[in-house]
Amino acid sequence: MTAGRTIGHWACVAAAAIAGSIVFAVLGLIAGAMFGGNFCNTCEFNGLRGYEATGQLGFLLGACAGAALSGWGAAALLRRRRARRAEAARGSD
């Protein structure tokens, strides 16, 4: 583990990454299926064509992007919160 990070911080980052992954995956699935059904009906992926293929691609890309963005955002938020607490502790001395 890195210096200054507790198990609680890593658990919060992991929970945010999982939640973000789920939300973005569902949004990606819907957006991909809409795109494939309307504009990309010849696309093939994983043995499927059209909206089914682009829906799967949207789901996978959304899950990856959601995990990365949510995990990064949670880590940045916790880092900023910890810095403010440290600054307040130094100011009260």
70 assigned to some structural domain: yes
Ranges 2-6, 13-17, 34-38, 60-64: which has the least confidence: 2-6
Would the pLDDT of 1 be above 70?
no
d(CA 67, CA 56): 17
9 assigned to some structural domain: no
Quick one: pLDDT at residue 88? 80
42 assigned to some structural domain: yes
- Please give the model's pTM, rounded to 2 decimal places: 0.80
State which residues form the domain around 56. 15-91
Q: What are the pLDDT digits (tens) for 64-74?
A: 999 999 999 99
Would the pLDDT of 92 be above 80?
no
Task: Compute CA 34 distance to the chain's CA centroid, rounded to the nearest angstrom.
Answer: 21
19 assigned to some structural domain: yes
Quick one: pLDDT at residue 91? 72
37 assigned to some structural domain: yes
> In the chain, how many domains are there?
1
25 assigned to some structural domain: yes
d(CA 35, CA 58): 9
